[in-house]
Amino acid sequence: MLVLTLPLLLGISSCTEDEFFEPATLQLAIKMENSEIFDEDNGNGGPPFEDELEFEAGELLLTSIEFDGERENNDNHYFSRDFSDILVADLSEGQLNQQVSFDIPQGSYNHLRLTLHTGESDSLPGLRFRGKWEFEEDDDFPPGNDPPFEGEVPVEIRFFEQTETIPLILKTQGGDQQIVFNRDNWETLEISVDLAHLFRFITPGKMRQAAVHGTGNNKKIIISSRHNQELYYNLVERVERSTRAVVK
């Protein structure tokens, strides 16, 4: 009897403690923040800009999300969630077109990396923002680039017309990379795009140089890989640095 029991005890002791507990379940949330640009301090300690740029709507489209976690006991955990129906996040409302949750094995993670895979659907690119630019009228516009309305012009930014990846490091709200998962301490995995950080080095002067596309009342500023390319490439290289993932 003693001989039969010993291997069983050895087998139990070889398991990690967190394997005996249910995983931590996190609900996914995606949003944009700091969507009013230029009306804050200009970053140089001077007075606020007179121009205002505000984004009222946005969408992020994802085909999959990958998780790669390094746990303290060297038992790493990787999984991928693929979306057969593309995941569309309404960034202004913070709503998803489908409910998404993740089961993460309990334990202490020293490093947890997320990789977002963008997609496109119909006329929507992987990431889009829509808003309007309000400005003080003057003669500071290039010849032939007069805005369509007095003091206001719609703006649309189109990122990722083709599939791209956005790698992120999951952190706590306090900025810690080491995260202990159990069933009681976290409820939400929140991904957010900080538009003020995205536009950190874009000034009203650069916006006034942007070409206005369309005719009549359909005129607007489009920033994409095909329109206003200098602005586009200045912005697109900051998307990753302006996006964060936190547990709450």
pLDDT of res. 1: 40
If one compares 42 and 212, the residue with the highest pLDDT of the two is 212
If one compares 87 and 11, the residue with the highest pLDDT of the two is 87
Q: Are 129 and 157 in contact (CB under 8 A)?
A: yes
- Residues 120-149: pLDDT tens digits? 988 899 999 999 988 776 655 555 555 545
Task: Return the exposure string of 62-73: e unless at least 16 CB atoms fall within 10 Å of the residue's CB, then b.
Answer: bbbbbbebbbee
Q: Are 136 and 51 in contact (CB under 8 A)?
A: yes
Residues with Cβ < 8 Å from 75, sequence gap 6 or more?
16, 107
If one compares 161 and 184, the residue with the highest pLDDT of the two is 161
40 pLDDT band, cuts 50/70/90, is: low
**Residue 9 φ then ψ, to 5°:** -65, -40
pLDDT of res. 138: 60
Q: Is the pLDDT of residue 54 over 70?
A: yes
What is the spatial distance between Cα 184 and Cα 130, in angstroms, rounded to a whole number? Answer: 38
Q: Is the pLDDT of residue 4 over 80?
A: no
**Residue 210 φ then ψ, to 5°:** -70, 140
Residue 124 CB neighbour total at 10 angstroms: 16
What is the amino acid identity at position 71?
Answer: R
If one compares 98 and 3, the residue with the highest pLDDT of the two is 98
If one compares 181 and 50, the residue with the highest pLDDT of the two is 181
Nearest to 118 by CA among 81, 72, 165, 159: 165
pLDDT of res. 49: 64
pLDDT of res. 76: 86
What is the spatial distance between Cα 157 and Cα 159, in angstroms, rounded to a whole number? Answer: 7
pTM: 0.84
| pLDDT mean across residues, the chain | 85
pLDDT of res. 10: 38
